[in-house]
Amino acid sequence: MLLWNFQVGCTKYSTGCINCYAEASYKRYNRDFSVVRKTGALNSIKSKKKYPSGENIWVCNSSDFFHEASDEWRAEIWTLIRSRTDLRFMIVTKRIDRFLQSAPTDWNEGYDNVWICCTAEDQVNADKRLPLFNDMPVKHKMIMVEPLFSRVDISKYLATGQYVQVVSGGECSNTKNCRLTRWSDVMFLREQCMQYNVDFIFERIGTKWIGKDNDEKKGYTYTRSQGVQVIEAEKLNLNFKTGNPDTFSLPMKFGYEKTKK
């Protein structure tokens, strides 16, 4: 998987944004993350050397593509996406309510090469966003329950048969108020995916993790560094794969290539 960060910056939108990992990285360099702006990478997607045919592309993982500040250049982005039908693009958003007004005029039932991933970090936001997402014309629908810090029931949405994949992971934050990720909540989500035959990916345990052996009752909380979070999630072997070719490939070690066990 490759990144296409033609846009950076965002503003807090919901509970999942409280300990934003992208904002934290910008603060280390004294940059104002609340300013949404274009970068010099916009036209880089034209390069087949940098973005070879067949690659999976994560669209602006340090921003929200449907943020109102990017209305000015979004049409240009859609044109570029439409020109690279040999690539598969994943767009992750909390602002699914702005999707219809932000879609290109020729969207119709969706582009074959675009996966839209709606985040649902808790029950309140799942029940707010997913009913809207259910009614939207998108060929490839995904749900991201991340950061996972509470029990989330999305079974009634999975039951519609519209979703090809669910991605989840714990909160990655060095702040004192980083929220816990619980084994029981991960398993609850995984079981829903298995029930409705939807691919499930658990990509990281989170900075603060409570495992499966009654750790919470004993008062045990495990704190892990960013790279270790991914490795520990992989060791748990919780991913559920249906063999559906319509899913989006998300390598477990994406972004952590230099991390060694």
| CA 144 to mean position of chain CA atoms | 5
Angle at 209 between CA 232 and CA 17, to 5 degrees: 105
- Cβ neighbours, 10 Å, residue 174: 12
Instruction: Tell me the per-residue pLDDT of 247-256, one tens digit each, with 9 for 90 and over.
Output: 987 764 443 3
Cβ atoms of residues 144 and 116 within 8 Å:
no
End residue of a domain, out of 94, 115, 136:
115
Q: What is the mean pLDDT of residues 145-172?
A: 96
Whether residue 236 is contained in a domain is answered as: yes
Answer yes or no: do 102 and 158 share one domain. Answer: no
Residues 169 and 91 in one domain: no
Boundaries of domain holding 95: 1-115
Query: The dihedral of CA 5, 8, 174, 125: what is its sign?
Result: negative
125 in a domain, yes or no?
A: no
Q: Are residues 97 and 3 in the same domain?
A: yes
User: Could you identify the residue written with the tokens 């807090």?
Assistant: 12
**Lowest-confidence segment of 3-12, 32-41, 170-179, 229-238 by average pLDDT:** 170-179
- Same domain as 47, residue 152: no
> Between the CA of residue 235 and those of 205, 220, 228, what are the distances in Å?
10, 20, 10
Residue type, 200: F
Cβ atoms of 196 and 158 closer than 8 Å: yes
pLDDT band at 152 (very low <50, low <70, confident <90, very high): very high
Instruction: Determine the Cα–Cα distance for residues 235 and 8; give it in Å rounded to an integer.
Output: 32
203 belongs to a structural domain: yes
Say if CB 32 and CB 69 are below 8 A apart: no
Do 67 and 163 lie in a common domain?
Answer: no
Does any domain span residue 21? yes
Which CATH number do you get for residue 53?
Answer: 3.30.750
Measured CA to CA, the distance from residue 222 to residue 202 in angstroms comes to 17
Query: In this structure, what are the phi and psi dihedrals at residue 196, rounded to the nearest 5 degrees?
Result: -105, 15
Structure tokens at 153: 């029931």
Is it the case that residue 174 has pLDDT exceeding 90? no
Residue 211 lies in a domain: yes
What confidence tens digit (pLDDT) does each residue in 133-143 have?
Answer: 999 999 999 99
**Are 188 and 97 within one domain?**
no
Query: What's the first-to-final CA gap in the chain, in angstroms?
Result: 21
Query: Domain count of the chain?
Result: 2
Is 159 among the domain residues?
A: yes
Q: How many CB atoms lie within 10 A of CB 126?
A: 21
Alpha helices (H) in the chain, listed in sequence order: 21-27, 74-83, 99-102, 123-134, 155-158, 183-195, 215-218, 226-236
**Euclidean distance between CA atoms 55 and 49, whole angstroms:** 11
Q: What is the pTM of this model?
A: 0.91
Given 75, 92, 115, which residue is the final one in a domain? 115
Domain co-membership, 161 together with 56: no
> In this model, does residue 215 exceed pLDDT 80?
no
Same domain, yes or no: 2 and 111: yes
Same domain for 180 and 238? yes
260 within a domain of the structure (yes/no): no
> Domain check: are 88 and 157 in the same one?
no
Looking at the fold, whether 104 and 201 belong to one and the same domain comes out as: no
Averaged confidence pLDDT in the chain: 89
**Residue 246 structure tokens:** 């319509």
Shared-domain flag, residues 98 and 160: no
